[in-house]
Every structure is written in C-alpha cells, then in structure tokens.
C-alpha cells in the first residue's frame, strides 16, 4: 500500500524504482554492521533472513518492489 501511495503521490513510479535500485546497490557494497534481533527490524539493510523474519517483514523483497514500480510506469 505504501509503495502504491508513493507512486501516486510522486506521480513517477519509475523514479521510485530507481531510488530503490540505488539503495539496494549501495547496500550491496557496504558491509552491514552487527545488529541484535531487537533492533534488526528497524534497519534497512538486509542480511540473512530466517522464516520468521520473512513472514513478519513489513516490506516485500526490494526486487519485487522495484518490479511493481516498473509495472506501474508501463
């Protein structure tokens, strides 16, 4: 819902996809700091995700979000 609202608000879903791509690319080259499980949910960087983390995640995987934004702009 938030991604769809962002695309509507900005009027440019392709720009949103590009922004997520940049964040993902930068994150891929940076080493994520050690984070305990109590604060991991507040972080935007990835790392290993267990089943519970996937089930209770507040965001879809970045690739899926980028694909949806690209579909909105088509």
32: confidence class by pLDDT, cuts 50, 70, 90: low
For residue 50, name the pLDDT band (cuts at 50, 70, 90): low
CA 8 distance to own-chain centroid = 18
Residue 59: the pLDDT is 73
Structural domain range at position 65: 2-73
Q: How many domains does the chain have?
A: 1
pLDDT tens figures, 9-28: 999 999 999 999 998 888 66
Task: Kindly report the number of other CB atoms within 10 A of residue 41's CB atom.
Answer: 11
pTM of the model: 0.64
């Amino acid at each position: 819902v938030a991604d769809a609202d962002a695309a509507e608000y900005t009027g440019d879903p392709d720009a949103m996809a590009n922004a997520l791509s940049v964040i993902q690319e930068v994150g891929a080259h940076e080493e994520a700091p050690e984070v305990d499980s109590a604060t991991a949910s507040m972080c935007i960087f990835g790392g290993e995700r267990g089943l519970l983390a996937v089930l209770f995640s507040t965001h879809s995987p970045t690739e899926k979000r980028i694909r949806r934004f690209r579909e909105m702009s088509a």
